[in-house]
Every structure is written in structure tokens, then in C-alpha cells.
Amino acid sequence: MTELKVIEPPVAIQAEHPLCVDLDGTLVKSDTFVDSLMVLARRQPGAFLRTPAWALKGKAHLKSQVGSLVSLDVEHLPYNRPLLDHLRGEHAAGRKLYLATGADRELAHRVANHLGIFEDVLASDGQVNLTGRNKLQLLEERFAGFDYIGNALPDLPLLQGAGEAMVANPHLRLKAALRSRNVRVSRKFLDRSQLLVALVKALRVHQWAKNLLVFLPLLLAHSFHRLPPVLAAIGAFVCFSLVASATYIFNDLLDLEADRVHLSKRKRPFAAGDLSVAAGVGIALILATAALITASFLPRTFLVYLLLYLVTTLAYSLTLKRVVLVDVVILSSLYTIRMLAGSAATHDPVSPWLAAFSIFLFLSLAMVKRFSELQNLRERGATPTNGRGYLLSDIEQLRSFGTSSAYASIVIFALYINGNDVVHLYHHPNRMWLITPLLILWVSRVWLLASRGLLDEDPVVFALEDRMSLLLFLGVVMIAYSAL
């Protein structure tokens, strides 16, 4: 739950003092320079690799170079809402406000122009990095006195020198430093989600349901009564869940700006500024390392599939997600890789029937994901802006691709039931035919709801939250169990 809070003791504002406001982490919950780096890495990876050379000439030069290549969408930045409301009230009352920031001046001016409440902008200019003591010196030279709002440890000297010190989403180190120096803070502007809630959202724990596919070879081979393969499958599930969360974080970091203009994705922790990019990078590295360590206890072939999944997912996030049709083929292949990895971990082979069934079914799910995105856009009268290359006119073609692929998977399942493999694995193989209408009902319902614009853009989320889908899945399990 997001915490929105303004703490205001009864203190009279010194109207003669201009109010100077920091940008990164204060007025905006994220760091605009780091956000710009992420956008640069996405759009111009070659230029991103030159940033170490620019940094050798100083941080101000680095900010200037990045700012000349990246133009952040200032309208959709994650502004601190209580602070922004306060500033607008002060501006309406006639108080002079100044944006005093270490961000590059071009970006700072665009933020100020967008908000329309600042008297002037004081920012880094390519030569001087306007933070800490540099910022304090400039404010003291320009004003006889000033009030200041900051958020991080570099703001400490400014808060000490301000007539009235205020903070917004203050860092722990800043709060400790303020207490140790007895600096009185008159107001706190808090706008952030609880850390644990934001972390769970960033990890996308609900998406771990996809990794249950590693258990499928074990279950279909009826090896679940033996402890070693069960433990191996659990280890495989843990590895894929950790790697999946790491790649989701990586993808979110690269998609910061695109997510901020999306109706629902703008609430993701990194896009909303509830978690920092630095925290995201650190968490992703820890998760990936833990996954590789766990995988070292499993068969080497499993590690190969895990690395293949990691590389394919990163390639998808960087480039392939914007290539029409290739993106859905990659998405469907990631499901199949999970099954192959589960087979490698437990030494239970994936039959040709299972491989064929999964390829067509997962391709249909990938298609319905893209179809529902376009359908929801059309329902709102909007046009695609995520750079994936699909047009609203592609909707009917995607519907054709997806539905034909879905029913092809059911045909394969029916042929499998009629084959010799089922006779060897099940005492009552004819009962497996009862699964066929349930599959037909589910895929038909998914596509019908997608056509009506009622499907969540992620079919996995839909399946986990949809009561009918859960009942149908339970029916499939009960039928398969009765056929044993």
C-alpha cells in the first residue's frame, strides 16, 4: 500500500526566503540521470558503452553527454505527489521557488517548463556538478537566505545551511546524519510504497507459476513417487524462479520510460520510483548468482538449459521483443525450454507428443498476449506506442494465428490419447478423452474473452485469477488421476 503523508508542525514559513528544491529523489522519486542511462542502454547501446570514457572527464560532463542523447519524458516522471501539491500551493501564494539540482540543466529546464512553478533553474552545466558543497556555495552567493528540500546525504550541508530544512522520502543515511547533527526538519513529504510490497512486485512472484512446467516431465513419466527426481525438480523450479525474477527486473529497468506511459505498467516499482535502479541491479545480480550456485548441484545439462533460458530472455528484452512474430515464437520457446530443463534435471525424457503439444499451445498463449494488448488499446481508442511493431490492423491476423495454433495443440493431444504410450502409462486410458473437451472449453474461452477486451494482457495472470480456469485445471488433474 502506497504511503502518502505530509508531516507539518505549526511553523510559520519565512516568506522572505526563496524555497529551493532538489530534483532527483526529492521532487522526482527516481534519479533522472540513472533513468537516462537506462534509456540510453535501450536505444543506443553503442553510446552507452562510451559512458566510462565520458565519466573520466567528470560527472558533470557525463551528465551533459547523456542528456544530449536522451530526452526523458518529463510529463510521466514519478513525481512526489505530496511535495508537488505543496509546491503548487506555495507558488499560488506568491512564493518564489527554485529548482536546484545536480541534474543536467537541459533536463532540469524541461522539468521546470513542464511544471510551470519555478522562478529559475540552478543545475549542472557540463563543467560543474551542482551537488553538495557546490550547490550550497551557489545558493549562498545568490540568496541572502534560503529554505531547502532534499532527500540524500549530499543534501546534508544544504539542509544545515537552510533557514528551514525539509525532506522528501529521506534516505536512511541522511536521517541518521540529521539526528547526529541536531538538524531540525520542519516537514517530511513521503510518497512511497512499503519496501516489502515493492520488492514482491518487482520479483513478480506470481509469474513463478510458469516454472511449474519443470515438473511436467516428472509427472507425465509417473516418477513422482521417487525422492531424488522430486528434489531435482524442486531445485530446477527454484533456479528458474530466481533467474526469471532477475530477468524481469532487468527488463523493467530497460523499459522504465515505456512503462511510465502504460496504463498499468506505470505502477511497477521501478517505473513508479518505489525502488531505485541501483537496488534493481543489485537484486538481479544476487538472484542470478543464487540460481547458478543452486544449478551447480544439478545435472550439467540442466545448467545448459538454464543458461540458454537466461541468454534468450536477455536477448528478448534487449532486441527480439520488438521484432514482429519473432517475439511470440521466442515467448513460446521459453515455455518449452522450461520443460526440457525439467527433463534434464530429473532424467525423465520429454516425449515427441508433449513437445509438439507444448509448442502449439504456448504459441497460442503468446499470440493471445499480443492480441489482448492490441484489443485493449483499440477499446480505449489508443494506438500502439511500445515499439513492438504490431498495428491495430494486425488484430484479425493474430486471432487467426493464435486460435489455429490452440486447436492444433488439442488435435495433437487427441492423437496422443489414441497412441500406444497412453496404454503403457494409464490403466484406464479411455478416461483421458474427458480432458479434451475441457481443453477446448478453456482455449475457446481465453480467446473469446480476449476478443471482448476482457482478458488480462498476461494469460498466466488471467489463469491464476480466473475461477473457471482453476476449476477446469482441477478437472484435468482429477481425470488424469482417475485414469492411472
- Give whole-number Cα distances, 347 to 97, 216, 300, in Å: 67, 12, 12
- Give whole-number Cα distances, 341 to 363, 364, 462, 463, in Å: 19, 21, 25, 23
What is the maximum span of the chain, computed from C-alpha positions, in angstroms? 90
- Which helix H or strand E contains 253, and what residues bound it? helix 227-254
Whole-number pLDDT of residue 13: 42
Whole-number pLDDT of residue 385: 66
Question: How many CB atoms neighbour CB 42 within 10 A?
Answer: 20
Q: What is the chain's alpha carbon radius of gyration, rounded to the nearest angstrom?
A: 27
CB 288 within 8 A of CB 246: yes
Which of 39, 10, 18, 204 has the alpha carbon at shortest distance from 107?
A: 39
Whole-number pLDDT of residue 386: 63
The alpha carbon torsion through 22, 28, 31, 32 (nearest 10 deg) reads -100
Local structure of 74: helix, strand or coil: helix
Retrieve residue 288's grid coordinates.
Answer: 542470478
Whole-number pLDDT of residue 1: 46
Listed in order, the ranges of the chain carrying CATH 1.10.600 are 197-482
Local structure of 20: helix, strand or coil: strand
Instruction: Give the tens place of pLDDT for each residue, 320-350.
Output: 888 999 999 999 999 999 999 999 999 998 8
Distance CA 148, CA 184 (A): 12
CB 437 within 8 A of CB 482: no
- Which helix H or strand E contains 337, and what residues bound it? helix 326-346
Strand pairing report for 97-104 and 120-124: parallel
Q: Which amino acid is at 408?
A: A
- Which helix H or strand E contains 156, and what residues bound it? helix 156-161
Which CATH code is given to the segment(s) 2-193?
3.40.50.1000
Whole-number pLDDT of residue 111: 97
Which of 86, 94, 77, 79 has the alpha carbon at shortest distance from 6?
A: 86
Which CATH code is given to the segment(s) 197-482?
1.10.600
Whole-number pLDDT of residue 211: 94
pTM: 0.85
Ranges of residues in the chain whose predicted pLDDT is under 50: 1, 6-7, 9-15
Question: How many CB atoms neighbour CB 71 within 10 A?
Answer: 13
Whole-number pLDDT of residue 353: 87
Distance CA 263, CA 183 (A): 41
> Which residues are within 8 A (CB) of 477 and not within 5 positions of it... i.e. 6 or more apart?
none
